[in-house]
Amino acid sequence: MKKILLFIIMFSFTLGAVGGIFPKFAKSAENPQCNEKECPVPPTIPPVVINSCPVPSILGDTTSKTIGNAPEGEQNLQLVLDNASYTLNVNSDQKQFQKWDVNANSTVQINAKFINKFAGYSSVFGFYKNGDLNSFTPIFKTEAIAGYESTPLSTSGPFAINTGNATSIGFAIKTWNGISPAGTLATENSFNTNGNDQVVVYNPFSNKYILGFEDLINGDDDFNDLVVEIILSCEEIEKEPENSAPTANAGPDQIITLPTNSVNLNGTGTDSDGTIASFVWTSVSGPSTINPNDVEDPTASPLVAGTYVFKLTVTDDDGATDDDEVQITINPAEVITSSGGGGGGGGGGSRRKQCSDNRDNDNDGLEDEADPGCHSDGNANNSNSYVRSDNNEQDGQVLGAETSCGIYVDKFLRKGYQNDVDSVKEVQQFLNDYMNAGLALDGVYGPLTEAAVENFQLAHAEKVLAPWGITAPTGIFYLTTQTEVNNIMCPTLELPIPSNLIQFRDNPQTPRALQISNNTNNINMSLFPSF
């Protein structure tokens, strides 16, 4: 008995000692008033994100729909699915699913893909929660639709649906075809007009579903108005890589000098994840409108002196685009003439004309274009009257002859015609002075002279081409071309645009009536004022 009592006393003493040595544990178990330093703090456990696996529900409806024949011009649903490589029978493989049950406060992984549509209106496909169409959230659209600018086209996903407090999801389309309510067709029959079953569902794999929507308008029941594939998963769906945009390269800037009046545009396009579907070249700016062919390396011509900017736009096989610009500088041809020696100065040589030599040749303190003597009208402020080939700054010569400011050219001229040689030379000299054409003054109305005339006609299309009702240059030196040249050479003439011109709007590219008689005597010069 004494031994038992002694054991009890010793055990009690031991407990007290432990409590004294480890007061924190002893107090934490019994004393709720312990402070943070005395009481152990339980570890924080992060919340677990639950991925919900959707479970389809038939809502008590077990009746299959009879798939009708498609109207003329449409494929029936069976053919649509066959073409999409689904081994399904449209009548016997139906599932009566109307909604999918999910866990609240979870996520559902979804991927949606457009298969086909035959409805003649726009559609937006999406989902709704807890049987509330007001919660409709778009997934993709079939074409551009106002109010859904940010909604992807045709295919969307994968992405995660946050269920929130919802315990079910359904799918619907907004059709904009006037059916009620608000043009919406839903997988849950109760939302459709008169409770109609307007969606057939197929389940070829465990988490893959095919939805065929039918508007029931015009008495058809083919369920092909919009066909969609969806994948619902509680696991993350691997996302297809996004398309990489192509890269356009319009080539290096180029500088050429007349009489060369064409240039090859060295454009390229690359696509890291596909191919280039098209090349499109456009004229951004320049002294004349030149639209190159839509190929990788087109030729731009005919070009006149000035600076052009061309833009290359490339499109890849997924519809993405990129563009790049190139600048082409066309320098005028240098105006250089030969002159013999004089005053014992020895042999001949070459020099620039006085009105283009950057020198004050008549000691009046003015050079070239700033000198009135280099203008056909003596007006240094009129840039149109400047004659860079004038070789006498002092007296205001025009092409080596004293300025009379009258008719400059009055002859009909064209390639292949028995032209007046002197008139051709005058035209060639004018084109060199005014357009920097770089033509030889040989009196021959050849291809280069014709091309230079065409460039002049394009540059003055409103006054030269428009009166005929044409937009394409002819290369023929006649009525309106003559008028514009004479008004440039002598602005005081103020010749009106000729009237009573034959119109060629029926075939503007081939003004055959301009190919007139080879006999200048047969040309009706009365159509041209003052001649």
User: Do 457 and 473 touch, CB atoms closer than 8 A?
Assistant: yes
Q: Is the dihedral of CA 395, 401, 402, 405 positive or negative?
A: negative
Exposed (0-12), middle (13-18) or buried (19+): which is 158, by Cβ within 10 Å?
middle
Q: Quote the pLDDT of residue 2.
A: 47
Residue 413, domain member (yes or no): no
Given a contact cutoff of 8 angstroms between Cβ atoms, the answer to whether 432 and 453 are in contact is no
One-letter amino acid for residue 102 of the chain: V
Backbone φ and ψ of 306, nearest 5°? 145, -170
Residues 41 and 100 in one domain: no
The pLDDT score that the predictor gives to residue 20 is: 45
Better pLDDT: 498 or 4: 498
Question: How large is the average pLDDT for residues 333-349?
Answer: 40
pLDDT band at 135 (very low <50, low <70, confident <90, very high): very high
Per-residue pLDDT band for 17 (boundaries 50, 70, 90) equals: very low
> What's the average model confidence in pLDDT over 306-325?
88
Q: Return the higher-pLDDT residue of 54 and 242.
A: 54
Give the Cα separation of 200 and 80 in Å (integer): 14
How many CA atoms are closer than 13 Å to the CA of 65, on its beta-carbon side? Answer: 26
* Residue 242 located in a structural domain: no
pLDDT of residue 295: 74
Residues 92 and 165 in one domain: yes
For residue 89, pLDDT over 80 is answered with yes
Q: What is the pLDDT of residue 188?
A: 93
Point out the least confidently predicted range of 161-170, 312-321, 352-361, 400-409.
Answer: 400-409
- Note the pLDDT of residue 35: 53
In a domain, 127, yes or no: yes
Instruction: Quickly count helices (H) and strands (E) in the chain.
Output: 7, 23
pLDDT at 240: 58
pLDDT in tens, 354-369: 777 777 777 677 888 8
First to last CA, the chain: 156
* pLDDT (mean) for 35-62: 66
**111 plus 223 within the same structural domain:** yes
How many domains is the chain partitioned into structurally? 5
| pLDDT computed for residue 530 by the predictor | 31
User: What pTM value is reported for the model?
Assistant: 0.40
Question: What is the per-residue burial (b if ≥16 Cβ within 10 Å, else e) of 271-298?
Answer: beeeebbebbbbeeebbbebebeeebeb
Q: For residues 67 and 90, what is the distance between their CA atoms, to the nearest angstrom?
A: 7
Query: Quick one: pLDDT at residue 527?
Result: 39
Comparing 401 with 393, the larger pLDDT belongs to 393
Res. 201 pLDDT band, cuts 50 70 90:
very high
CATH code, domain carrying 273: 2.60.40.10
Residues 461 and 491 both lie in one domain: yes
- Tens of pLDDT, residue by residue over 463-513, are 888 888 888 888 999 888 988 888 888 777 788 877 667 665 544 443 433
- DSSP for 126-191 reads EEEETTEEEEEEEEEESS--TT-TTSPBSEEEEEEEE-TT-SEEEEEEE--SS-TTTTEEESSGGG
Is the pLDDT at 514 greater than 50? The verdict is: no
Select the more confidently predicted residue: 247 or 354: 247
Instruction: Name the CA radius of gyration of the chain, rounded.
Output: 44
Q: What pLDDT score does 237 carry?
A: 62
Q: Which of 296, 329, 362 is the last residue of a domain?
A: 329
Average pLDDT over residues 125-154: 87
Q: Is residue 412 part of a domain?
A: no
Dihedral sign, CA of 189, 192, 198, 200? negative
Residue 527 dihedral angles phi and psi, to the nearest 5°: -70, -15
Task: At 161, give phi and psi (nearest 5°).
Answer: -90, 120
* Contact in structure between 527 and 520 (CB atoms under 8 Å): no
Question: pLDDT at position 9, please?
Answer: 45
Q: Which is more confidently placed, 12 or 358?
A: 358
**Is the confidence at residue 515, as pLDDT, over 80?**
no
Partners of 174 in the β-ladder: 124, 184
> Is 184 inside a domain boundary?
yes
Distance CA 425, CA 416 (A): 16
Cβ-in-10-Å burial (0-12, 13-18, 19+) of 321 comes to middle
| Pair (316, 447) in one structural domain | no
| Sheet strands (E) in 348-396 | 349-352
Task: Report long-range pairs for 436-443 (Cβ below 8 Å, ≥24 apart).
Answer: 436/258, 436/304, 436/305, 436/332, 436/333, 437/258, 437/259, 437/333, 438/258, 438/259, 438/332, 438/333, 438/334, 439/259, 443/419
Query: Is 388 a domain residue?
Result: yes
Query: Are 158 and 140 in a shared domain?
Result: yes
pLDDT 10s digits, 420-440: 888 899 999 989 888 888 899
Residue 217: closest CA among 308, 358, 120, 85:
120
Last residue of a domain, one of 302, 329, 356: 329
| Adjacent-strand bridge partners of 413 | 477
Residue 371 CA to residue 365 CA, distance in Å, equals 8
Rounded average pLDDT over 436-449: 90
Q: How far apart are CA 59 and CA 38, in angstroms?
A: 58
H or E segment to which residue 456 belongs: helix 447-459
Does 384 fall in a domain? yes
**Tokens found for residue 68:** 């009708």
Say which residues have a Cβ less than 8 Å from residue 24's Cβ, sequence separation at least 6: 34, 38, 39, 40
Residue with tokens 């197929």: 202
- Give the per-residue pLDDT at 374: 80
Say which range, 287-291, 320-324, 339-343, 506-510, has the weakest mean pLDDT: 339-343
Alpha carbon dihedral 371, 376, 382, 384, in 10-degree steps, equals -120
Mean model confidence pLDDT for the chain? 76
pLDDT band at 233 (very low <50, low <70, confident <90, very high): confident
Q: Which of 275, 295, 329 delimits the end of a domain?
A: 329
Q: For residues 429 and 452, give the distance between their C-alpha atoms in angstroms, rounded to a whole number.
A: 11
In this prediction, residues 393-420 reach a mean pLDDT of 67
If asked whether residues 256 and 191 sit together in one domain, one would say no
Structural domain of 5: 1-45
Q: Are residues 203 and 88 in the same domain?
A: yes
Q: What integer pLDDT is reported at residue 377 of this predicted model?
A: 66
Task: Check whether residue 446 and residue 428 sit in a common domain.
Answer: yes
Using CA atoms, how far apart are residues 283 and 46, in angstroms rounded to an integer? 61
Residue 32 has a pLDDT of: 52
- The per-residue pLDDT for 380 is 78
78 shares its domain with 185: yes
Structural domain contains residue 408: no
Taking the C-alpha atoms of residue 497 and residue 260, their distance in angstroms, rounded to an integer, is 32
Specify whether 197 is located in the same domain as 277. Answer: no
| Residue where the block lists tokens 């003055």 | 460
Residues 100 and 159 placed together within one structural domain of the fold? yes
